[in-house]
Amino acid sequence: EVEEPDAGTLRVAIQMTLTAPGCGMGQVLKDDIERKVGRLPNVVETDVELVFDPPWSMERMSEGARLELGFE
């Protein structure tokens, strides 16, 4: 979700899931995404939330991602 509270400034909220709730990389990925999105022009606030409902499955992957990883 992207909001523009003031002209030329953006607040970005991202909900993402991991392939497994116990994934040890969750915080690393969250921090990396917040840092990189925060570097984009006009972004003044970034919030990344890890969610697990609905659970991740391969059906949630784009067709391109499935092809690239050899799942089709």
Q: From first to last of its 72 residues, what are the pLDDT tens digits of the chain?
A: 898 888 889 999 999 988 888 889 999 999 999 999 999 999 999 999 999 888 888 888 899 999 999 987
The amino acid that residue 17 corresponds to is T
2-68 is a CATH 3.30.300.130 domain:
yes
DSSP-derived secondary structure for 16-52: E--SSTT-TTHHHHHHHHHHHHHTSTTEEEEEEEE--
Domain residue ranges in the chain: 2-68
- Model confidence, pTM: 0.72
